[in-house]
Amino acid sequence: MADADLTAPLLSPDHVIVTVHSSAPSAAPGNPFHALGCHADLSVPPPPTLDPFRNATPAVEGLYEWAKTVLCLPLALLRLALFGLCLAVGFVATKVALEGWKDKENPMPKWRCRVMWITRLCARCILFSFGYQWIKRKGRPAPREIAPIIVSNHVSYIEPIFYFYELFPTIVASESHDSIPFVGTIIRAMQVIYVNRFVTSSRKQAVREIKRRASCNKFPQVLLFPEGTTTNGRNLISFQLGAFIHGYPIQPVIVRYPHVHFDQSWGNVSLGKLMFRMFTQFHNFFEVEYLPVIYPLDDKETAVHFRERTSCAIATAMNAVQTGHSYGDIMLYMKALEAKQENPSSYMVEITKVESLFHIRSMEALDFLDKFLAMNPDPSGRVQYHDFLRVLRLKACPLSAKIFSFIDVEKSGTITFRQFLYGCGYVMSQPGFHQACEESFTGVGGAVKAYIVEQELRDFIQPAILNWNEDEVHELFMLFDNDNDGRIDKNDFLSCLRSNPLLVAFFTSQLQQKEFNANGVIEIV
């Protein structure tokens, strides 16, 4: 055998391949969302210890309460009859006052207002039937010319009845109140400003109408419950902005329900049960305090700062704790209750704080809760790793483990809804999230045409989990294919990633790997 020529090149001189591994793909160890801008670990504050909606005495308990309830049953029947009679008389008087009135965009004529005094007196009798024989007042209501807007905390259905009798204001209320039998007609006589809190156009129209009514002294004062729902009266939840946008002077009013045995707050008690408990009390205590008028500081004061000053004044006078809860937390609670979760209160996340951090609104939070409940949480409200993967159409792999570990801030091997929501919100709020979604669609196959087919998704995503079979990839494809037309257009793709933002890690990791592989080989010919 001839000796090898040590001077001969190992490769032919016309083709040289040089592989350069100068750097690894930019990713932080254990952080699957580093490419989006997540340079810090997820931080999830502990759940609040306060439940501002919990009634302190939801059931009849103790010998005294049972004895009193039984003894008051005949009295309850008389009170129920008085309630029905007053409601009927007030309804008839209101129908007379509204008869033939067409121009409801302008203030109610004086003679119609005088007829409404009959209904207002009936309202006071209704309060009497509920056990409010006397009402303690502190302070005085400001004239309409000084404070065109009134704001009050909201504890029960009693306050609207009292304010109707005491002030006969224009109120801002949900559209659903219009359909309540008898009561809906009486509410319309107050020239109510209806609002659908979930429709942006309705909210804007309500704000414009508040300004129109507040700017005209011929209209009565405008009454708002800025919390947007009832609480237990021991806490103050986040205020909505509607009353503070236009900068009119505001008179805050506080209602209190002192009690020992029976908490009169609506809270998590049904309306029928609450009415029965009120009918079977000797007397129910009710206090109203009119606070000094709060004026805007100047033209430059923002509505947010005006709101905070007002809510702080009310909370201080109430000696109450302010929380970040809102009506959205009630919706989360009700959905968890319908799903028969053992502790539905644990699913309240202080929606106002979540919205300020991540711009996630109540309806979006409800969608995330639907997804979390599909993961079959245990009685403590925690989800296991395998259920997390099942709902997101994933399989166990290093990247899946990193995603789960990212939101498992306690490193307990399970996640709560609060951690899941904060994790999804944190990812969506990153500066690179939307661009990453666009680039992912382009990288999978959307650069050539306006849609992605299943084979393209399989070829792109399968390297991330090598043992994915066709059926499993098909399930992921169907998650993206919202309209079931056999392909994923851009709207489908972006919508799915917004609903399932944690999935973006699979696409960004593959895009990074492809970019790295493409840049790591240099051919010299």
Cross-strand pairs, 251 = 150
pLDDT of 521 strictly over 70: no
DSSP 163-231: HHHHT--EEEEEGGGGGSTTHHHHHHHTT-EEE-TT-HHHHHHHHHHHHHHHT-TTSPPEEE-TTSS--
| Residue 355: pLDDT band with limits 50, 70, 90 | very high
DSSP 363-418: HHHHHHHHHHHHT---TTSEEEHHHHHHHTT---SHHHHHHHHHH-TT-SSEEEHH
The 8-class DSSP code of residue 133 comes to: S
pLDDT at 181: 79
pLDDT at 421: 96
Token pair 């303690």 is found at 136
The 8-class DSSP code of residue 243 comes to: T
For the chain, the average pLDDT equals 87
Q: 513 or 273: whose pLDDT is higher?
A: 273
- Paired tokens of 448: 């050539």
pLDDT at 508: 86
Who's near 254: CB < 8 A, 6+ residues apart? 152, 153, 288, 289, 291, 314, 317, 318
Who's near 35: CB < 8 A, 6+ residues apart? 26, 27, 432, 436, 508, 509, 512
pLDDT at 328: 93
Cα separation, 451 vs 489, in Å, equals 4
| Residue 265: pLDDT band with limits 50, 70, 90 | very high
pLDDT at 159: 95
pLDDT at 485: 86
pLDDT at 92: 94
pLDDT of 118 strictly over 70: yes
pLDDT of 358 strictly over 70: yes
pLDDT of 434 strictly over 80: yes
Q: Which of 163, 167, 140, 164 is nearest to 153 (CA)?
A: 163
DSSP 447-478: TTSSEE-HHHHHHHHGGGSTT--HHHHHHHHH
Backbone angles phi, psi at 393, to 5 degrees: 60, 40
Bridge-based pairing of strands 521-524 and 16-19 is: antiparallel
Q: Which of 254, 278, 338, 318 is nearest to 57 (CA)?
A: 278
Backbone angles phi, psi at 30, to 5 degrees: 80, -5
pLDDT of 1 strictly over 50: no
Instruction: Please report how the helices 351-358 and 417-428 are oriented relative to each other, as an axis angle in degrees rounded to 10.
Output: 20
Cα separation, 445 vs 16, in Å, equals 32
Average pLDDT score over residue span 77-99: 94
429, burial (CB in 10 Å: exposed 0-12, middle 13-18, buried 19+):
middle
- Paired tokens of 94: 């209101």
Number of other CB atoms surrounding residue 10 within 10 Å: 4
pLDDT tens digits for range 33-42: 888 888 788 9
Q: Which of 210, 141, 142 is nearest to 173 (CA)?
A: 210
- Paired tokens of 377: 């949480």
| Residue 12: pLDDT band with limits 50, 70, 90 | very low
pLDDT at 496: 93
| Residue 464: pLDDT band with limits 50, 70, 90 | confident
The percent of residues above 70 in pLDDT, for the chain, comes to: 92
Average pLDDT score over residue span 127-141: 96
pLDDT of 375 strictly over 70: yes
pLDDT of 107 strictly over 80: yes
pLDDT tens digits for range 160-185: 999 999 999 999 988 777 778 788 88
Average pLDDT score over residue span 403-425: 95
- Paired tokens of 115: 């007829």
Cα separation, 307 vs 312, in Å, equals 8
CB 222 within 8 A of CB 193: yes
pLDDT of 217 strictly over 70: yes
pLDDT at 157: 92
Average pLDDT score over residue span 445-459: 84
pLDDT tens digits for range 269-321: 889 999 999 999 999 999 999 999 999 998 788 999 999 999 999 999 999 99
pLDDT of 206 strictly over 80: yes
> What sign results for the dihedral spanned by CA atoms 149, 153, 154, 155?
negative
CA quadruple 45, 46, 50, 53: dihedral, nearest 10: 70
pLDDT of 517 strictly over 60: no
Mapped onto helix, strand or coil, the DSSP state of residue 119 is: helix
pLDDT of 260 strictly over 70: yes
Most confident of 56-60, 372-376, 508-512: 372-376
